[in-house]
Amino acid sequence: MHAEADQIVVTTTELLDVIWNHRSEKLYI
């Protein structure tokens, strides 16, 4: 159960990172 929760956190963090990087690139243009 703990491992699954950790995996969800990691996946969510990675998704947020991708989204944030994408938005930052748009702002710089």
pLDDT for 1 equals 63
Amino acid code (one letter) for 4: E
Residue range 1-29, pLDDT digits in tens:
678 999 999 999 999 999 998 887 777 65
HEC assignment per residue over 1-29? CHHHHHHHHHHHHHHHHHHHHHHHHHHHC
What is the spatial distance between Cα 9 and Cα 12, in angstroms, rounded to a whole number?
5
Give the pLDDT score at 25.
Answer: 78
Q: How far apart are CA 10 and CA 6, in angstroms?
A: 6
CA distance 15 to 8: 10
- pLDDT of 4 reads 92
pLDDT at 28: 63
Global model pTM greater than 0.85: no
pLDDT at site 24: 79
